[in-house]
């Protein structure tokens, strides 16, 4: 069977057109589109074919889903404590929390990719076990990138929030998840009100350190 040839120029355009969006229209995302995002994610590469990703999906309707509200409130409470310990002023804390809470409650879809440690190989020595965990985290990143690009290919927009990394216990408790799951990110999906201006990227000459 001949190897299929895809339009690499179109793919590069798609990659360069992706933006990190924070504010969305109220327009809902169809269930079939959500399923397609998850289908793209599960085809990401993973060492040893471990497929260590698990996904939590919350869909906000005309009003925020109760689970989204509970998650936003609990994460905000934890973040408030941390910002206060950092010495942030109260008005700044309130502003940052309000913006973060808005993103969770006004995004049509929230997807929380989690790492399942039970899916990865076990080794007797810490060095190899640490490498195995790193590979699993890299796999989750690949699955997320697949989702972001599929979203853009369907005319959707997305945002990548890292907040769950700082309070995984809060996320698992609020959503009644298996406590062994490790939330890695929170992906917002919807239709942007206004697409952000692209940020500058480093020139390749600054990034390639070895090329023979």
The phi and psi torsions of 196 (rounded to 5 degrees) equal -65, 155
Q: What is the pLDDT of residues 26-52, one digit of tens each?
A: 999 999 999 999 999 999 999 999 999
Q: What integer pLDDT is reported at residue 2 of this predicted model?
A: 77
* Low-confidence spans in the chain with pLDDT less than 50: none
- Distance, in Å, from the CA atom of 157 to the CA atom of 71, rounded to the nearest integer, reads 22
> Tokens at residue 203, please?
């020139």
Q: What integer pLDDT is reported at residue 54 of this predicted model?
A: 98
- Distance, in Å, from the CA atom of 211 to the CA atom of 42, rounded to the nearest integer, reads 32
Q: What integer pLDDT is reported at residue 7 of this predicted model?
A: 87
Find out whether 190 and 24 touch, Cβ atoms under 8 Å.
yes
Q: What integer pLDDT is reported at residue 110 of this predicted model?
A: 98
Q: What integer pLDDT is reported at residue 4 of this predicted model?
A: 81
Residue keyed to tokens 């809470």: 101
Q: What integer pLDDT is reported at residue 175 of this predicted model?
A: 98
Find out whether 191 and 30 touch, Cβ atoms under 8 Å.
no
């Amino acid at each position: 069977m001949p190897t299929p040839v895809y339009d690499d120029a179109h793919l590069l355009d798609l990659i360069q057109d992706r933006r990190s969006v924070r504010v969305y229209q109220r327009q809902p995302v169809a269930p079939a589109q959500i399923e397609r995002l998850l289908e793209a994610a599960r085809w990401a590469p993973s060492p040893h074919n471990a497929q260590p990703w698990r996904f939590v999906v919350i869909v906000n309707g005309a009003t925020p889903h109760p689970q989204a509200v509970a998650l936003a409130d609990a994460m905000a409470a934890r973040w408030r404590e941390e910002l206060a310990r950092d010495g942030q002023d109260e008005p700044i804390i309130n502003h940052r929390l309000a913006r973060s809470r808005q993103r969770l409650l006004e995004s049509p879809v929230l997807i929380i990719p989690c790492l399942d440690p039970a899916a990865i190989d076990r080794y007797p020595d810490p060095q190899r076990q640490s490498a195995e965990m790193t590979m699993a985290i890299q796999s989750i990143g690949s699955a997320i990138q697949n989702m972001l690009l599929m979203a853009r290919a369907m005319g959707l927009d997305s945002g990548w929030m890292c907040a769950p990394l700082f309070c995984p216990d809060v996320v698992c408790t609020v959503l009644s998840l298996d406590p062994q799951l490790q939330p890695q990110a929170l992906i917002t999906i919807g239709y942007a009100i206004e697409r952000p201006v692209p940020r500058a990227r480093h020139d390749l000459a600054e990034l390639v350190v070895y090329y023979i």
